[in-house]
Amino acid sequence: MKAFGPLILVGALSLAACDQKTGSTTVTTNAATGEVTESRSGEGSPAANLQPGKWEIRTQVSDLKMANMPKGVSANPPAQTNSVCVTPEQAAKGPAELLKGAGSDCTINSSNFAGGKVESDLTCKMPGDMTMKSKTTGTFTATSFTTDQQMEMTGAHPMSQKIHIEGRRIGDCDTAQ
């Protein structure tokens, strides 16, 4: 479902960002040239990295509100559980690298991923003259994380939702991946 596309970005950002320092990062994509630039400001103490391996991620959307909500779409859809393989290279990358591949102009207004706690504030310019804002709080260890997010999109298709995400490392990646 298209409405949940930003959910994937926000959830993945939570997972990827756990090795970042406190500060601000802006990732901008020039629509005309495709050029991606990144700038950072702020300092902070390094936080623990998530361990590479196979991760199970459970996502629960609640309080979904959107203009002209399609029939059959619930404000509280069922939780979704997926497993993903996080390679050592992916675990070492920060949220800026993730955002570069998302095709959006994003600014991480603030982020703090230290001491087992996560707090972040993200704004993205989305295709179609839309803006997504997300605030996240939660906790993490090297092998698990829990986040609660409030996401709001403004523009042509306004919507808002709350997102609860739980992730845990469940082992090594399958060798066939």
Q: Which residues pair with 125 in a beta bridge?
A: 105, 131
In the numeric block, the tokens 């998302």 are attached to: 102
At 172 the three-state DSSP class reads: coil
Nearest to 7 by CA among 158, 123, 134: 134
Share of residues in the chain with pLDDT > 90 (%): 32
Please state, rounded to an integer, the average pLDDT across all residues of the chain. Answer: 74
Q: pLDDT grade, residue 55 (50/70/90)?
A: very high
DSSP 12-30: HHHHHGGGPPSEEEEEEE-
Close Cβ partners of 149 (under 8 Å, ≥ 6 residues apart): 10, 14, 134, 135, 136, 162, 163, 164, 165
| Of the candidate ranges 2-16, 40-54, 122-136, 146-160, the one whose mean pLDDT is the lowest | 2-16
**CA–CA dist 132, 77 (Å, integer):** 20
Which structure tokens are listed for 24? Answer: 């601000």
**CA–CA dist 15, 30 (Å, integer):** 26
For the segment 69-85, the average pLDDT, to the nearest whole number, is 91
Q: What is the pLDDT of residues 3-21, one digit of tens each?
A: 344 444 445 444 444 334 4
Q: Residue 99: its pLDDT value, please?
A: 52
Residues recorded for the chain? 177
| Cβ proximity of 43 and 122 under 8 Å | no
| One-letter identity of residue 71 | K
Q: Residue 96: its pLDDT value, please?
A: 53
In the sheet where 36-41 sits, what is the strand order?
36-41, 23-29, 105-114, 117-126, 130-140, 144-154, 159-171, 53-66, 80-86
Nearest to 48 by CA among 121, 145, 137, 149: 145
For the segment 53-60, the average pLDDT, to the nearest whole number, is 94
Domain ranges of the chain: 2-22+42-129+150-162
